[in-house]
Amino acid sequence: MPEISKAYEPAAVEAKWRARWEDVFRADAASPKPAYSIVIPPPNVTGVLTLGHVLNNTLQDILARRARMLGKEVLWLPGTDHAGIATQTVVERRLRKEGKTRRDLGRGEFLRRVWAWKEEHGGIIVEQLKKLGCSCDWSRERFTMDEAYSRSVTEVFVELYKRGHIYRGKRMVNWCPASLTALSDEEVIMKPVHGKLYYMRYEVADAPGEFLEIATTRPETLMGDTGVAVNPADERYARYIGRECWRPFPRARIPIVGDPKIDPEFGTGVLKVTPAHDKADFEIGARHGLETLDIMNPDGTLNALAGPDFEGKERFAARALAVEKLAALGLFTREEPYEHNVGYSERADVPIEPRLSEQWFLRYPKVAEALEAVRGGAIRFTPERWTKVYEHWMTNIQDWCISRQLWWGHRIPVWYRGEEIYAGVAPPPDAETWRQDEDVLDTWFSSWLWPFATMDAATEKKFYPTDDLVTGPDIIFLWVARMIMAGLEFRGEIPFAKVFFTGLIRDAQGRKMSKSLGNSPDPLDLIARFGADGLRFGLLRIAPHGQDIRYDEKQVEEGRNFANKLWNAARFRQMHGPSAPEPSLEGLELSPYSMEVAARLNELIRGTEEAYAGSRFTEIAQSLYDFFWSDYCDWYVEAAKTEIFADNPAARNSALTVMDFVLSHILRLLHPVMPHITEELWETFGFAPAGLTHAPFPTAAAALDRSRLEEARRQAAAVYQSARQARNLRAEYRVPSNRKARFILRSQPEWAERELATFARLINAEEAAIQPLYEAPGGVPRVLTEMGELYMPLEGLVDAGAEKARLKKEMEKTQAELAAVRRKLQSSSFVANAPAAVIEEHRKRETTFLQRLEQLEKMSAETAR
RNA sequence: GCGCGCUUAGCUCAGUGGUAGAGCGGCAGCUUUACACGCUGUUGGUCGGGGGUUCAAAUCCCUCAGCGCGCACCA
């Protein structure tokens, strides 16, 4: 047996298994075993591991590893996505340091640079996932820009175009002035902004000296105003409808229109209409045939149409200038603080600019079917409440802007020649006469195919649809909903059966983790300090079911401590001789403690199975922790030491075998959660040569002798409870835990004698003797236990009064409990209405309390001696 | 505005009708022959407020408050 170190040192152990596992998790598409599959939510290729990834992928690893141990053929398919905007931004930033832009390089050269960057830096997160212990099939790692994958994306585009789901149109879109591209609605986040409401006056054209006062948050767009609108029902302004007023600069006459959408209560009740720079204004403009005047450049600066003063000015600088100019003209009235919501580009974190532009849009396919798939339970969301969020989005679904003004991504497979449009997987025959669309597709337009576009035909046949998806609720629309529609449209089947939504990991103050706040710990640092297993376990245990998580490093520390506890418990067992490769309880004479721990193990196995069925991962971790630390280490091992250190070979062997039995089960139960340390110990014990990754996951309970079980468990519980009381007595009388004490039991049950040695060991007694005729001096500390009346005679300590007072306190507590039970039992409505079992239980409690009181009274009377 | 979630011990959280729990922290004691990343004992709660249903409510219903999230959005 190899030497085993005193404290668990994860680094070497984890590195060892990472190397050995490299090829163990390949999925065999030809396997006769039932399939189980998960596709990883592909992290950005630019990304590095975050705590969110750790949680998410730990959960997937748990599912995959357990499925493997349940005899499934498991595919956990890993990969990354090309993250169009993020990746292109990273490379452009590098170019800028060389003083170049992507246009200086040209499309071909720029893309070569991006690929080079990807080859050099893109694998980081994959390596980090390996460090975490993820049991992915690395031979099937995919990237959304892989050749085969790209072909799928293109095919899907062409197919949807042919089916009439994809169209091109000039519409208002969310424009990101930093990334210089359109975004989908889902990539815009609304943020409350402390802005101002500016009041200004437009002169009525046919009535000089008469003004309409207008309130706006964006005075810098006034140069694009092509109308002014009021509510026709608004008596203050009805007479102006059909007339004109002056836009101050560039000075022009613009029509005043009546539109019922105008809220007379808001501001002044007069709206300036800027159809090119506001979604609502665009619609008003369209209704009244107003001109669309685009005064902005793509980068958010103003253009020549805004006038010479504004041309080239950044939009927020232009705001100040516009106010200044209005004031100079005497047209500025006042401003007031105003908090409102502004759409921000999620990636670039700058206010988006509503902008009119020609883009490609997708009319979603299979909306009704996708809605029904979740509503009807074909796909089950956990926690279930997310189905409502899904339904809401699906029933208010808007067309998806799928084109992006980027170079890095799947180029839109459409070619133009004059008025002609050609869409095809391959370029048109006489390609040189055609011009291909310059834009690429939204990254999500490739990700939504992930569950099947990542699989070759044989893999797909075996593993699609997948079983579980584990992801964050923040991408329920961006990704989950779209995958469901894509699966239904292109494979005629839902892509996964279950979706588990994790919570968000927040810092100790409850704030989101973010780079700018610097409050997101580096998981690799945590792995270095606490081990991957410790990190996994610690995080899992604080990840309440679908609830946000408050991260605290203490929890990871606890994970490490638990690993260490496991290590040392194993070490203790190994000090006492070799273990059988397949420990079994069959034919063993079991002590009450062994019966108890085996029964608890059975409960654990059952509970674990139920927790898995309900995706209650925290409960899995918690129950393993509780069983192992408390039931096994604190109680069983301590109790079993009596047999292990005694010279009865049969009893000793029995106890050691029970330990082996429990350990061989706990290692398997724990393996999905803490794969490295369990695999290491499994090997050290020599439990099964094939390794732990494919060892059978415990499902069946051990068969225990029913005729003895109940009584044995009762006895074990009585000994443990009595030990607690005895320890308490020691502490109260300041007998240091290292000092041996003497205990005397009186009027004990007949079985107690046999358990005396164990009892004595648990309370660190010099001796625990049974003396039926013991007459305790009045001041001897005493307590009523389930093993009988227990006395702790102490040299020189005789304070009968104190002892009596202690007992009195105990009696008062019991009396209170008795009174509470009796109050219920005496209520006729309770007896009439409560179920018989509940009444019975209350009666039992009444009897117990009565007996206890009686004995306590007797003991109290004896303090007079 | 609509929808969802949360509120239980100092902290982080379990606990979906029947005697309020865990870990951490605090306090006290311990190098008890696996583990100080440990052991033992102990201190902490009118379960956010109010109302209701019920023999019985942390748990079910209503309502209010605070915090958080999603969707929509009036310039």
Statement: the CB of A385 is under 7 Å from strand B: yes
Statement: the CB of A646 is under 7 Å from strand B: no
Residues 142-201/A with CB within 7 Å of nucleic chain B are: 185-186, 189-190
Better-predicted residue by pLDDT, A340 or A413: A413
C1' of B20 to CA of A817 (Å) = 15
Residues 10-49/A with CB within 7 Å of nucleic chain B are: none
**In terms of Cα–Cα distance, which of A61, A234, A64, A198 is closest to A132?**
A61
Task: Name the closest nucleotide to A342, judged by C1' and CA.
Answer: B73
Is the per-residue pLDDT at A3 higher than 60? no
Residues 466-505/A with CB within 7 Å of nucleic chain B are: 474, 477
pLDDT at A516: 66
* SS3 state at A666: helix
Better-predicted residue by pLDDT, A112 or A740: A112
Helix (H) or strand (E) segment spanning residue A106: none
CB A532 within 8 A of CB A131: yes
Task: Name the closest nucleotide to A270, judged by C1' and CA.
Answer: B75
Task: Name the closest nucleotide to A510, judged by C1' and CA.
Answer: B68
Is the per-residue pLDDT at A1 higher than 60? no
Residue whose CA lies closest to nucleotide B74 C1':
A266
Is the per-residue pLDDT at A382 higher than 90? no
Amino acid at A243: R
C1' of B50 to CA of A817 (Å) = 29
Indicate the pLDDT class of residue A661, thresholds 50, 70 and 90: very high
pLDDT at A797: 61
Fill in the DSSP letter of residue A204. Answer: B
pLDDT at A363: 94
pLDDT at A802: 78
pLDDT at A2: 46
Close Cβ partners of A733 (under 8 Å, ≥ 6 residues apart): A781, A792, A794, A797
Statement: the CB of A230 is under 7 Å from strand B: no
C1' of B16 to CA of A824 (Å) = 23
Question: What's the average model confidence in pLDDT over A110-128?
Answer: 91
C1' of B12 to CA of A568 (Å) = 27
Statement: the CB of A728 is under 7 Å from strand B: yes
Residues 237-266/A with CB within 7 Å of nucleic chain B are: 261-266
Question: Do the strands A270-273 and A227-230 form a parallel or antiparallel pair, or are they unpaired?
Answer: antiparallel
Statement: the CB of A554 is under 7 Å from strand B: yes
Question: What's the average model confidence in pLDDT over A652-680?
Answer: 95
For residue range A827-859, what is the model confidence (pLDDT) as tens digits?
888 888 888 888 988 998 888 888 888 888 888
Q: What domains does chain A contain, in order, with CATH numbers? A: 10-84+121-146+447-525 (3.40.50.620), 157-180+354-446 (3.40.50.620), 190-351 (3.90.740.10), 526-704 (1.10.730.10), 799-865 (1.10.287)
Question: Do the strands A79-80 and A142-143 form a parallel or antiparallel pair, or are they unpaired?
Answer: parallel
Statement: the CB of A519 is under 7 Å from strand B: no
Statement: the CB of A531 is under 7 Å from strand B: no
Report the percentage of chain A scoring pLDDT > 90: 56
C1' of B5 to CA of A494 (Å) = 28
Close Cβ partners of A138 (under 8 Å, ≥ 6 residues apart): A22, A25, A78, A126, A130
For residue range A408-455, what is the model confidence (pLDDT) as tens digits?
999 999 999 989 999 999 999 998 999 999 999 999 999 999 999 999
C1' of B9 to CA of A40 (Å) = 40
Task: Name the closest nucleotide to A214, judged by C1' and CA.
Answer: B75
Helix (H) or strand (E) segment spanning residue A673: none
For residue range A789-830, what is the model confidence (pLDDT) as tens digits?
999 988 766 677 777 887 888 888 888 888 888 888 888 888
Report the percentage of chain A scoring pLDDT > 70: 98
For residue range A224-282, what is the model confidence (pLDDT) as tens digits?
999 999 998 888 888 999 999 999 988 999 999 999 888 888 888 899 999 999 988 99
C1' of B6 to CA of A544 (Å) = 12
**ipTM of the complex, rounded to two decimals:** 0.93
Close Cβ partners of A788 (under 8 Å, ≥ 6 residues apart): A745, A746, A747, A748, A749, A752, A770
Q: List the nucleotides on chain B closer than 7 A to a protein CB.
A: 3-6, 11-15, 18-19, 22-24, 28-42, 54-56, 67-75
What is the value of pTM for the model shown? 0.92
pLDDT at A812: 83
C-alpha distances (whole Å) from A478 to each of A151, A363, A407, A840 are 21, 15, 21, 56
Indicate the pLDDT class of residue A534, thresholds 50, 70 and 90: very high
For residue range A77-100, what is the model confidence (pLDDT) as tens digits?
999 999 988 899 889 999 999 999
pLDDT at A811: 85
C1' of B69 to CA of A492 (Å) = 34
Task: Name the closest nucleotide to A281, judged by C1' and CA.
Answer: B75
* SS3 state at A670: helix
Lowest mean pLDDT among A101-105, A358-362, A397-401, A796-800: A796-800
Amino acid at A280: A
